[in-house]
Amino acid sequence: MSSAVRQSLNEATATLRDAGVASPDFDAAELLAFVLDTRRALLLISAPQPTPAQLEQYADLVARRARREPLQHLTGVAAFRHVELAVGPGVFVPRPETELLAGWAIEQARSLVGRVAGEEPAGVSGPPVVVDLCTGSGAIARAVADEVPTARVYAVELDEGAHRWAERNLDGTGVELRHGDMADAFDDLVGTVDVVVCNPPYIPLEAWESVAQEARDHDPHLALFSGDDGLVAMRVLERRAALLLRSGGVVGAEHADVQGDSAPEVFTATGRWSEVRDHPDLAGRARFVTARLAR
């Protein structure tokens, strides 16, 4: 590592730490790798000597990150499972914990690949059908299409700005993207869907002050807040999934870590679902609920 690279990294890390950024070392390195058009892991090994123009660009990006602009907005990309998504102002930046929900949806879809009539589920054949409600950047839909290429994947997004990002990320993937409200989306698929997956808004309005500045100031509020208890969208999802799914189909939805009891209750209270269970994230916090349609 050159002395200029080391000094730039040290100064940037200190700046970000003083600004309260949660991961100053990581973010400083990611931004420098972006400026130098290399990978973060290679900074210590083969990073080129930065030019004066690159150092100026880096200083500007670090200052913007210190003002709590999301790292992904500055680099323009977000990694999600095995794909890279274009992100920026106007779309919710996909979080690492959502990869677990996407992984669950992928496993469910994979289990149905190659089914034929006469096998379980009775009377159902053809490729798995997956619907991603509240798709945002298209992260989950893109991951499913990438890892289960034979699946028929559909996605819907209400926010116009986010929908434009989803169009960009899902172009050429085979995912059918629609612009609309999950509450009445996909009437043409009623009773035929195998997997419904959703990362809905789930933050209570009263929790405004507790939301990370990056999300509160830069993510679309439509993707964050969901009524007084944070479960308004979850109730809409429960009703829509019950209509879209075939008998025995499954639904999975992310929720806040404090909703490990209340989110599953949305499903158990209706009597329409079996196998309702909650799943932790890698830190052991309650993260997403899954259920199977009982009819």
Extents of the domains making up the chain:
3-67, 91-293
Does this model's pTM top 0.85? My answer is yes
At 45 the pLDDT is: 72
> Where does residue 156 rank: exposed (0-12), middle (13-18), buried (19+ CB within 10 A)?
buried
pLDDT of residue 241: 98
Work out the mean pLDDT of the chain and round it to a whole number: 88
pLDDT greater than 60 at residue 210: no
pLDDT at 2 over 80: no
Q: Predicted confidence band at 7 (pLDDT cuts at 50, 70, 90)?
A: confident
Range from 39-53, 123-137, 145-159 carrying the lowest mean pLDDT: 39-53
Q: What pLDDT score was predicted for residue 78?
A: 93
Do 167 and 136 touch, CB atoms closer than 8 A? no
Q: By C-alpha distance, which of 185, 63, 60 is closest to 133?
A: 185
Q: How many residues does the chain have?
A: 295
Side-chain half-sphere of 183: how many Cα atoms within 13 Å?
Answer: 6
| pLDDT at residue number 87 | 95
The per-residue pLDDT for 284 is 93
Residue type for position 57:
Q
- pLDDT greater than 60 at residue 94: yes
Contact (Cβ atoms closer than 8 angstroms) between residue 90 and residue 161: yes
Report which of residues 2 and 180 the model is more confident about: 180
pLDDT digits (tens, 9 = 90+) for 137-165: 999 999 999 999 999 999 999 999 999 99
pLDDT at 250 over 80: yes
The token duo for 53 is: 């123009």
123 has pLDDT over 60: no
The β-bridge partners of 278 are 289
Determine the pLDDT at residue 223: 54
CATH tag, 91-293 = 3.40.50.150
For residue 263, which of 249, 274, 251, 253 has the smallest C-alpha distance? Answer: 253
Structure tokens at 159: 């926010």
Question: Measured in Å, how far apart are the chain's first and last C-alpha atoms?
Answer: 62
Work out the pLDDT band at 42, boundaries 50, 70, 90.
confident
Bridge partners, 132 (sequence order)? 155, 197
Residue 197, SS3? strand
Q: CA 217, 289, 184: angle at the middle one, nearest 5? A: 70
Q: Return the bridge partners of 288, or none.
A: 254, 279
Tell me the C-alpha distance between 146 and 149, whole Å: 6
Burial track 47-76 (b if 16+ CB lie within 10 A, e otherwise): beebeeebbebbbebbeebbebbbbbbbbe
Query: Residue 207's closest CA among 254, 259, 155?
Result: 259
